[in-house]
Amino acid sequence: MIPKVAERIGLSVEENEKLQFIVKHHIIMPHFSQRRDLHDESLIIRFAKSVKTAETLSLLYLLSFADIRSVGPDVWTNWKGMLLEELHLRTAAILDEGEFKKESLDERANRFTRDVINLVKAEISERWVKKILGGMPHAYFAGYSPQKIAYHLKLIKEYGRGVGMDVIFHPSEEYDEFTFWGFDKPGIFSQLCGVLAGNGINILGARIVTRDDGRILDVFYVNRLGKSTHMEKNLWSKVNEDLTSVLKGRVDVGEIVSRRKKYKPIYVKTIPKHPPRIEIDNESSESSTIIDVYTYDRVGLLYDITKALTNLGLSITYAKISTKVDQVADVFYVNEINDGKVVDPKKLNQIRSIFKSIDSEK
């Protein structure tokens, strides 16, 4: 329809082409921001190359905002807005540079390490900073700013060889940031998901970092009933208590999730159900296989999915959760343990089979 509309309202050829582009690609920014890792520099560069100019990027950004806001009162959230803004800012920064050049992984790690040393020099020695950051994978420096890394170092310094957790509240953005420092073991991410689900906490996204010494730094972006939990003083004490019990083997995490499943809403609208849809993408990320899962939301769904991935011998490096009313679109960046992408056709078929067997009414 656009060419006819553009001619009728007197747009130039250039304006006509630009309008066609933003209408044709009006869902790409919501898709990337809600369903892909925005710290994947390769993805941002490819997106920047496609939009070409800062003006086209801004027009696409505004159309994406208007499109999401116009769907319904509960579709837009501050979390989605923050993700959309982050994609816009990251892409604009690349376009401003005028060249699509990737910084090498070593260069970024070294640059961030220098920045972090300056940020924490009054509290933490340069030698200790280099020791801790030297054991972090390159992906860690792609996922966090020097300021956030400095915060992580203070947390690691506080808990040392033990296990610890901390929460940063973002009430205006309607989400919180839960950070866990502990030991890597099969199923640990699934256990963390289960404890959070068992306490009625909704996971919006997660980034998993595993050091070469077997320590992990997992960060979850969460909320509860669509809001920050900053007013619920006892909630995180209960999370800490449950998590300690699970890690020490006193309680099975499945029991915590099962208890939560017993809480049924008074009124449940009957909606036609369809089988889960699974998509596997081995092209978008240079280092990971991306699994997109489309299904219906329920208590403990993320716990069941992450448990199934663990049972398949896969490690999750990044996850993003998007919920629209009763439907979820979950994204998982996964790798073979101690290896790269999942490329074995037999293993890929196993993934599809496992996910289709996860009954959304379980």
The residue that leads in pLDDT, 269 or 10, is 10
* CATH number where 304 lies: 3.30.70.260
Of 69, 97, 125, the last residue of a domain is 97
Judge whether 268 and 361 are in contact, CB under 8 Å. no
Both 322 and 192 in one domain: the answer is: yes
How far is it, in rounded angstroms, from Cα 174 to Cα 139? 27
Same domain membership, residue 268 and residue 185 = yes
- Read off the pTM: 0.85
pLDDT for 74-113, tens place per residue? 788 888 999 999 999 999 999 988 777 777 888 999 999 9
CA gap 189, 220 in Å, rounded: 10
Residue 259 located in a structural domain: yes
237 and 309 both lie in a single domain:
yes
CA distance 9 to 140: 50
**Last-in-domain residue among 123, 141, 158:** 158
Tell me, what DSSP letter sits at residue 59?
H
Gap between the Cα atoms of 300 and 290, Å rounded? 21
- Token pair, residue 132, equals 């801790």
The full DSSP string for 15-51 is: HHHHHHHHHHTTTHHHHHHHHS-TT-HHHHHHHHHHH
pLDDT at 200: 92
Instruction: Identify which of 309, 313, 307, 308 has the alpha carbon closest to the alpha carbon of residue 338.
Output: 313
**E strand or H helix that includes residue 152:** helix 146-159
Give a yes or no: residue 362 inside a domain: no
Q: How far apart are CA 129 and CA 115, in angstroms?
A: 11
Give me the residues paired with residue 334 across strands. Answer: 289, 316
Torsion, CA 6, CA 12, CA 18, CA 21, rounded to 10: 40
Q: For tokens 């959070």, what's the residue?
A: 196
Residue 362 pLDDT greater than 60, yes or no:
no
Which residue, 116, 142, 158, sits at the end of a domain?
158
Asked if residue 281 and residue 335 are part of one domain, the reply reads yes
Q: Which residues contact 147 (CB under 8 A, 6 or more apart)?
A: 119
Residue 151 shares a structural domain with residue 6:
no
361 assigned to some structural domain: no
- Over the stretch 200-224, which tens digit does the pLDDT of each residue have? 999 999 999 988 888 999 999 999 9
